[in-house]
């Protein structure tokens, strides 16, 4: 069974309503993605490992804490890019590694066209970010690449998900928590999330009317 974690918060519900609205312009859509990414990342990082760190305040020395592991932020191109900057503001030391995957519209299967995972020691924890978890194919392909790199811990952060996508990730990567703002009803015959929000990449980058 999937380790599915849905962020149940009034601000999330408020921003999700505006995000879904077809009348929301791209400029506002991008801001909403950023706000939701922050709320989602906050929930998904509550158990990060800490180490003690001694500092000196203007008054005296004291003990504090700092993150104790290397964290990788892995956006699935292109829509995942919309979630990177707000999460980097929360975790400035995070490393960003890009994976380019697109869905073949005929088969609904993921096709990899870009990978920037380096050789050598992998990060301790990878946060895979993609606004939409539909069939789960792209997310599973990204997690497969990260596991091949040797990443010991992975988490998937998506704004909305379909049950089919959650089940696919759970089937292939049952140890990976899936953090979402909303779990929708299903996929339609074109593999779009219902009720969904359309194509997140097109709405973020204002390419809805491209020919």
Active-site positions?
A: 103, 107, 199, 202
Residue that is written with structure tokens 């759970």 in the block: 170
SS (H, E, C) the chain: CCCEEECCCHHHHHHHHHHHCCCCCHHHHHHHHHHHHHHHHHHHCCCCCEEEEEEECCCCEEEEEEECCCEEEEEEECHHHHHHHHHHHHCCCCEECCEEEEECCCCCCEEEEEECCCCCCCCCEEEEECCEECCCHHHHHHHHHHHHHCCCEEEEEEEEECHHHHHHHHHHCCCCCEEEEEECCEECCCCCEECCCCCHHHHHHCCCCCC
In total, the chain counts a number of residues equal to 211
Closest CA to 17 of 160, 173, 174, 178: 160
Q: Which two tokens stand for residue 33?
A: 């993605």
């Amino acid at each position: 069974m999937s380790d599915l974690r849905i962020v149940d918060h009034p601000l999330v519900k408020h921003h999700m309503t505006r995000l879904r609205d077809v009348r929301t312009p791209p400029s506002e859509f991008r801001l909403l993605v950023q706000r939701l990414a922050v709320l989602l990342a906050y929930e998904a990082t509550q158990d990060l490992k800490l180490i003690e760190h001694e500092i000196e305040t203007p008054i005296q020395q004291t003990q504090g804490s700092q993150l104790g592991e290397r964290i990788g932020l892995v956006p699935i191109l292109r829509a995942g890019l919309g979630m990177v900057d707000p999460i980097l503001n929360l975790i400035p030391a995070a490393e960003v590694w890009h994976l380019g995957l697109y869905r073949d519209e005929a088969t609904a299967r993921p096709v990899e066209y870009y990978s920037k995972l380096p050789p050598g020691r992998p990060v301790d924890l990878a946060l895979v970010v993609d606004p939409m978890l539909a069939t789960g194919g792209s997310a599973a392909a990204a997690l497969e690449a990260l596991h091949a790199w040797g990443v010991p811990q992975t988490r998937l952060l998506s704004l909305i998900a379909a049950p089919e996508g959650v089940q696919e990730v759970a089937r292939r990567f049952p140890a990976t928590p899936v953090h979402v703002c909303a779990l929708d009803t299903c996929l339609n015959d074109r593999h779009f999330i219902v009720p969904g929000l359309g194509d997140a990449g097109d709405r973020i980058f204002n390419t809805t009317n491209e020919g």
